[in-house]
Structure 1
Amino acid sequence: MFNALMLQKQDDRTLAAVESIDESRLATSSDGDVLVRIDYSTLNYKDALAITGRGPVVRAWPMVPGIDFAGIVETSSHPDYQPGDPVVMNGWGAGETHWGGLAQKARVPGAHLIALPTGITTRQAMAVGTAGYTAMLCVQALERHGVSAADGEVLVTGANGGVGSFAVAILARRGYRVIASTGRPEEAARLRELGAADIVERATLSAPGKPLQKERWAAAVDCVGSHTLANVCASLRYGGAVAACGLAQGMDLPATVAPFILRGVALLGVDSVYVPRERRVAAWRAIEEDVPVATMESVAATIPLADTPDYAARLLRGEVAGRVIVDVNA
């Protein structure tokens, strides 16, 4: 038996509660060939949508949410993994189409796992989590496009969130001048500690704006979507690019083609769920080298599994800053 946060559908409501689960049920929840004893998971925006029922994340019921986890291989029939190996998992439909990481155990395909870099512990891996991994994918997307620190300022929207916080830290570490957009001025000091050179008020970007605006940013990482992303595109410098990975403001994009055909800007979509394995490995190697993991771990909040429903609601209300590690064994 093991403990898991279980989501049940009742009429139009999502019910979330910690339950004791027989390990035999894992065989029916996934076609995985690796059984992992989970040490830590995290609480991400998508997890919060699933747990509260605020978004159509869950595709099969009942569901154990949790889009990522880190732990130790318990049993394996996959050639790349042996019992005792530390591993990390991000995405691949965990918590959506098959049981995820907010549990003490998970059975997953070995192809969905990454061997944890030797310099990162399982707790540190979840201090990074899908948020840090996605932020690294965004930075790598910008750099593949040719963006460099010499090109000018890089904007990060939704900078107080998990992805935004990591994007600020990674970009600053790589020598970029980072401008952080936030609606919570009380968090400005924390963002400056992460490396932000300046702070802009969220409201300056979140309202409907002109199709083409003053050129300001060489590039951007957008975690927000909707009018914010439209305004970012409209204010990119000629040839600039934005890596878009979030929808905190909305899924819509009320923009025009003007920035794309008059300034040659690029909109780079960044997905973290089904990224090819080689890019996952490259991202985690870069995290080991370029992310101040120990710093991120020290400022992350750690909660027990039973507290995740309450924290999920708080996260969606904008009351949670930075990372939330879930100790599934607490």
Structure 2
Amino acid sequence: MEQSRLPQADVLVKVDYSTLNYKDALAITGQGPIVRSFPMVPGIDLAGVVEHSDHADFKPGQRVILNGWGVGEQHWGGLAQFARVDAQWLIPAPDSISSLQAMAIGTAGYTAMLCVIALEKAGIRPDAGDILVTGANGGVGGYAIAILHKLGYRVVAATGRPNERDYLTALGAADIIDRSTLSAPGKPLQKERWAAGVDSVGSHTLANLCASVKADGAVAACGMAQGLDFPASVAPFILRGVSLLGVNSVTRPRAERIQAWSRLATDLPADIIDRISRDIPLREAVATAHDLMAGKVQGRVVVDVNA
């Protein structure tokens, strides 16, 4: 394909790595209405080097990261060797994070960091009690566990794969619970158990999490793996003062994105990145997307678009 076919925008990026996220898998397999127009290049994030720029903020040779902004859904994305994108969607890559590491972290790790920052702003401190992380075997869940553990929180992981206890423990989980205890309809107000939570699942899981958070606790919600619905009541919010914190990772202002990536550079142990991620060549993206939708993928999948 000629570069002239790329969508019009002010920065041309030579992509080093992209990833396979849940949205990418939905787009590739056709199992969700993610793609708004065809043809489309999936890939909701990318890391690479500026090849050409018509914007003063970015120069050729500069390393950059992109997360979200409808890229891979409405605008051609990162699963290609070049991407032409709007400058406002890009941020400079931290010096201490390579392009490979940036995509091993990817939108999942960046979203996890936004969730942690949201809990901090809500006043949740490490001495508050246990933090429940749902969807623990996914990218967001895994990075949330690792970051919270590094910051001194005691983390409990909810997973449907109890056989992967060793993996979750290595990330920093102090305890494991079966996701089935959360995924079915529950009482609107339950025994106070969690100081806070990070949820990437939605539906009954999010409702049950909110119903069992302690007074003045908080839940950072960022995903919908179980569903978009929220079959809950207002009881936890008005009787216990629980805060439900919506985390939108797609269109954050540049300052917030730079802050999140700066925090990732300091608050995410480097060895965790290798534990959570694996690399595949671009030619394996379609098959791996089907595996992801079938629940066969653990952690993060980095795509080497040049392999």
The normalised TM-score by structure 1 is 0.92
Matched, 1:24 2:24: no
Distance in structure 1 (CA, Å) of the matches to 2:4 and 2:271: 37
How far off its partner does 1:283 sit? 0.1
Q: Is the 8 A contact 1:124 1:294 kept in 2?
A: no
Amino acid paired to 1:155 = L
* Correspondence for 1:154 among 115, 131, 136: 131
Q: Give the letter aligned to residue 279 of structure 2.
A: T
Q: For residues 271 and 28 of structure 2, what CA distance do their matches in structure 1 show?
A: 29
Shift of 1:32: 1.6
Q: 1:298 to 1:85 in 2, by over 3 A?
A: farther
| Residue 229 of structure 1 pairs with residue 206 of structure 2 | yes
1:291-302 alignment to 2 at 5 Å? 291-297=268-274, 299-302=276-279
Q: 1:154–1:217: 8 Å Cα contact kept in structure 2?
A: yes
Match for residue 3 of structure 1?
none
SS of the aligned residue for 2:182 comes to helix
Match of 1:74 in 2: 51
- Asked if residue 281 in structure 1 is aligned to residue 248 in structure 2, the reply is no
Q: Which runs of 4+ in 1 moved over 6 A?
A: none
Structure 1: distance between partners of 2:306 and 2:216: 49
- Give the aligned residue type for 1:285: S
What is the match of residue 168 of structure 1?
145
- Answer yes or no: is the 8 Å Cα contact 1:244–1:268 preserved in 2: yes
Deviation string, structure 1 residues 78-135 (Cα, Å, up to 9, x no partner): 1111111111100011011110000000001111111000001000000100000000
CA distance in 1, matches of 2:138, 2:305: 22
**1:257 and 2:234 matched:** yes
Matches of 1:265 and 1:214, distance apart in 2: 13
Q: Which residue of 2 is the match for residue 108 of structure 1?
A: 85
Q: Is this contact kept in 1: 2:130–2:195, CA < 8 A?
A: yes
- Distance in 2 (alpha carbons) for counterparts of 1:329 and 1:115: 21
> What is the distance in 1 between the residues matched to 2:133 and 2:273?
18
The question of whether the paired residues in 1 share the 8 Å contact of 2:276 and 2:298 is answered with no
- Runs of at least 5 residues in structure 2 that lack an aligned partner in the other structure: none
Amino acid at match of 2:17: Y
Which of 86, 96, 114 is equivalent to 1:119? Answer: 96
- Report matched runs for 1:41-120 at 5 Å: 41-120=18-97
Equivalent residues, number: 307
Q: Percent identity?
A: 63
TM-score after normalising by structure 2: 0.98
Alignment correspondent of 1:303: 280
RMSD: 0.9
